[in-house]
Homo-oligomer: A and B are copies of this chain.
């Protein structure tokens, strides 16, 4: 805690423009400076007179020499920009999967970099990536650290980087009303109505709605409703793990033979065997599509996907039994295939899965509308916090949520 031998200080001039006050953005910036032990000097502040006017703040950050760059990088992530017209600072990677120490780490917000030719948009926006510039082509894109190759020109520091945080319009209120305000004491029905309208709009314009689902969807009886959404064209891709497919198949194959069990909600005592039986049945058919073709699998979420030609990606996990032949146990491949399905997504429904929800959330740009449903408030908070700025969290039973949603969409 001693601070006797103060290191020499440097400073940097930044500017930030937008709805600085009502969105709390300027508070976040100034707090970041203070909490990292640096200081600021507000040089100019022009406040928007009306709600729709932008405000602009010009300020100087003073920090220890060895820390200034990182604080600036962080401020850039929040939407600030270094004053002046300096282009990005590029350094080559010295070895595969490595970058210089002061590399700029991306957010999932829409970004631009300044090349000598001017500002260009960043392609393949995702979180926690590096920015690689192709100077000849005059382009920039997000590249995952593991995909960096020796010689790639990597953006370092925050100079010449500009991040556009999504502005929550007041019109979007109905949709975003629970952003950062997860609570079980809200009116879930209202939210479902707003989400359903959004899905209708997305469908009408040929949009792309991607579902990330956990096994609780099946356990709570939500599989039927999710199947109906798929059947009626409301879902364009399903991202899940081995367990969702296994329990969906188990429900489809043994639902009636177990009689009262699945209908009644009474725990099936033979349950611990059934999921292995389900996997065995699929193994015999080659894979899930084979089971549909052979008439073995005739209902459920996966059945609807196969029938409606809605692609599904089943990513493996360390806890997977079996797994099903369709489950991708090479996670690099699973991540790639997941990312493919997320391309061009308009909306993301994360249904009771923290693991896959976080995985998918990292790959998704912040302009994709995201809905997270879970019975555990902590999970919703965690996903909404990581998710897009327009993320909506709903603390409720996912089975009920899907029933209400199917009702609203008229597909139940």
CB within 8 Å of B: which residues of A?
1, 21-24, 26-27, 30-37, 39-43, 45, 47-51, 57, 66-67, 70-71, 73-74, 77, 95, 97-99, 101, 103, 105, 107, 127-128, 130, 144-146, 170, 173-174, 177-178, 181, 184-191, 216, 219-221, 241, 257-261, 263-267, 269-270, 272-273, 275-277, 279-281, 283-284, 315-323, 325, 329-332, 334-335, 338, 355-356, 358-359, 362, 375-378, 395-397, 399-400, 403-404
Q: Contacts A97-B283, A145-B276, A330-B331 given; 17 further ones with Cβ under 8 A? A: A22-B30, A32-B269, A42-B49, A45-B45, A145-B322, A146-B322, A146-B323, A178-B265, A185-B216, A191-B265, A315-B318, A318-B355, A331-B331, A375-B375, A376-B376, A376-B378, A397-B400
Chain B residues near A260: list those with CB within 8 A: 1, 37
Question: Main SS of the interface on chain A?
Answer: mixed
Q: Are A186 and B272 touching (Cβ within 8 A)?
A: no
Q: How many copies does the complex hold?
A: 4
Q: Are B50 and A270 touching (Cβ within 8 A)?
A: no
Q: Are A359 and B145 touching (Cβ within 8 A)?
A: no
Given contacts A70-B273, A146-B322, contact A266 B173 (CB under 8 A): yes
Given contacts A45-B47, A220-B187, A335-B318, contact A105 B273 (CB under 8 A): yes
Q: Say how far A412's CB is from chain B's closest CB, in angstroms.
A: 11
In the complex, A41 Cα to B338 Cα: how many Å? Answer: 47
In the complex, A374 Cα to B280 Cα: how many Å? Answer: 34
